[in-house]
Amino acid sequence: MIGFLSGKVISSKPTEILIDVNGVGYTVYISINTFEKISDKEIVALYIHTHVKEDSITLFGFSSESEKEMFELLISISGIGPKLALSLLSGIQTEDLRDAILNGDVTRIIAIPGIGKKTAERLILELKSKVGEVRVEGEPVVHHGVKQEAVAALTTLGYNYTTAEKVVRQILASSPACTLEELIKKSLGELNK
């Protein structure tokens, strides 16, 4: 399986790109969000999801690991194939989709072309418990585990997931060297203001 490609852009469109990697051209399907991030570059590096079907092998490329993780979660849902998942990621930023799923915001999800109310409800139902594991772009990997543990502790204490996650993220931004215990104490202090 191909997991990452880096090479020279031969041609690009908003939904696909042709990359020359050591003399071999790969056609990679991308979201519009990825296209916007790489459209002005001659050399690109993409995280790849290799989709194998009976009669074809298709490559889907992403500018960030978080977008790739979200794509893989989306295609794990019955009735959502790679093209629809890519369409979803083209219509909304990964972080916004993650927040919409966590908050149960059906209205935000159905605003994306090609997504109806039933599909949006199924997305929320099936991904709400899994989507919290998708790392927010730009968040240091070191903080990800500590952040998730702190948010889990706060939600166990009865705080809203989104509020707890926001407070924990703010504290980590200002005090990146926090231990888990310090992070929970500071978060409780902020939440109880």
pLDDT tens per residue across span 6-24: 999 999 999 999 999 999 9
- CATH 1.10.150.20 in the chain is located at 66-133
Dihedral Cα 71, 74, 75, 80, nearest 10 deg: -130
Q: How confident is the model at residue 135 (pLDDT cuts 50, 70, 90)?
A: low
- CATH 2.40.50.140 in the chain is located at 4-62
How do residues 15-65 score in pLDDT, each as one tens digit?
999 999 999 999 999 999 999 988 888 899 999 999 999 999 999 999 988
Does the CA dihedral 158-159-165-169 come out positive or negative? negative
Burial 105-127, CB ≥16 within 10 A → b, else e: bbebbbebeebeeebbeebbebb
Does the CA dihedral 159-163-136-142 come out positive or negative? negative
Architecture of domain 141-191: Orthogonal Bundle (1.10)
Superfamily of domain covering 66-133: 5' to 3' exonuclease, C-terminal subdomain (1.10.150.20)
- CATH 1.10.8.10 in the chain is located at 141-191
CATH of 4-62 given 1.20.59.10, 3.40.640.10, 2.120.10.30, 2.40.50.140:
2.40.50.140
Half-sphere exposure of 69 (CA within 13 A, CB side): 16
pTM listed for this prediction? 0.68
